[in-house]
Amino acid sequence: MQACHRLRIWALVALLGAGNTHAALIFNFTTSTGDAQADAAFAAAAQRWSNLLTDNVTVNVAIGYKLLDPGFLGFTTTEKANYDYTDVRAALVGDAKSTDDATAIGGLQAAPAIKLLTNRSSSSPNGSGSAIPYVDSGADANNTSLFITNANAKALGLLPATNAALDGSIEFSTAFTFDFNPLDGITAGAHDFVGVATHEIGHLLGFISGVDALDFFSQPVNDGPYDVNAFADNSILDLYRYSAESFALGVVDWTADTRAKYFSLDGGVTNLYLFSTRSFFGDGNEAGHWKDGQGIGIMDPTAAQGELLAITARDVQAFDVIGWDLKGSAVPEPGTLALGFLGVAALAAGRRRRAIESGRAIEVRV
């Protein structure tokens, strides 16, 4: 994958609106898949994001379409970096444009540290690795920093908008059957390639959760329990992750267990939509997704063969409050189909995802 940083074979510019030079989300594909259908599908997926988001940002993505290891539909690698919560909070305040932004900012905890409900930590007061939740209100890495994708950092001005470094890579396996044209529906027995690619790009844009790192590295087979104080794995999306228990305590929820976790913009008062709760200790799906089986949106964790994947206003609302700017009337109403997409961890065909968390490669079966 390192070749993606050096090689610039093919590029696509996906602009928002013809003739609009002031609001353009640009996707620069640094490689070609070598397959015309796959290249066109990635271009269509990128255009969907550009039709909704207006940030003057260039997102650099390496793409591939080749034979992968058996059982892999595809995998995504997302480049991330740590940022102080103080700076991220200030950037969210400065970037606020919508009503939801204003609500979300009002619900954010004060800087410089985030209080959170967590568990399974090596430093848990309930015993190392205990599943019992506890409030972590210290001033360690997980309280004072966030782990943010490069693209999300660009949208907030924390990273130069035209920074040339690779923001992520997405590869799909030629061993599976894909439908590359969603305009006439998805063929039975095939997966929606454009939808899957759009969802994968959504993760690059910041729809992720640090709970995935907690869940993975807390497992004994992965040298658990995890030292949550040593790493800043929380994402911006995690600032809006609550449970009934965490709301009662006035903190966000960053636990790996089966209790319901929900998306809230007003400090946990309003339960908008449910999140997945993680692969091993939770409900079986990665935490950086909506709850499965609820029909919430494109960032749902699974998709069936023959299913046309769709963006909803629920998805767009989440991207809005993590720092992206919306095109206004382009936002679809809840429950409507608006140019689908799917995701990183998800297909019901037994796919795997590979990501980079704190510099360590993780391979998770989903």
Q: Strand 145-149 to strand 241-242: parallel, antiparallel, or no bridges (unpaired)?
A: unpaired
Tell me if the bond preceding 220 is cis, omega within 30° of 0.
Answer: no
The answer, yes or no, to whether residue 317 has pLDDT greater than 80, is yes
Residues making up the chain, counted from first to last: 366
Share of the chain above pLDDT 70, in %: 83
Average of pLDDT values for 38-56?
A: 96
Per-residue pLDDT, 210? 95
Query: In the structure, what pLDDT confidence band is assigned to residue 279 with cuts at 50, 70 and 90?
Result: confident
Per DSSP bridges, beta strands 168-173 and 74-78 are antiparallel
Name the band, by pLDDT with cuts 50, 70 and 90, for residue 364.
Answer: very low
Query: Tens of pLDDT along 223-266?
Result: 889 998 888 899 999 999 999 999 999 999 999 999 999 999 99
Contact predicate 323/92, CB 8 Å: yes
Q: What is the pLDDT of residues 159-214, one digit of tens each?
A: 999 999 999 999 999 999 999 999 999 999 999 999 999 999 999 999 999 999 99
Which range (30-34, 61-65, 196-200, 331-335) has the least confidence? Answer: 331-335
Question: At residue 65, does pLDDT exceed 90?
Answer: yes
Mean pLDDT of the chain: 84
- pLDDT at residue 231, as a whole number: 86
Beta carbons within 10 angstroms of residue 18's beta carbon: 5
DSSP 240: G
Q: What are phi and psi of 304, to 5 degrees?
A: -95, 160
Whole-number pLDDT of residue 23: 61
**What's the pLDDT at 342?**
30
* Contact (Cβ atoms closer than 8 angstroms) between residue 346 and residue 300: yes
pLDDT at 292: 93
Instruction: Say which amino acid occupies 257.
Output: D
pLDDT surpassing 70 at residue 14: no
pLDDT digits (tens, 9 = 90+) for 85-136: 999 999 999 999 999 999 999 999 999 999 999 999 999 999 999 999 999 9
pLDDT exceeds 90 at position 273: yes
Q: Which residues of 333-343 are buried (b: 16+ CB within 10 A; e: fewer)?
A: eeeeebbbbbb
Structure tokens at 182: 């969603």
User: Alpha carbon of 107 to those of 94, 160, 293, 363: distances in Å?
Assistant: 15, 27, 28, 34
Nearest C-alpha neighbor of 191 from the set 67, 47, 302, 284: 302
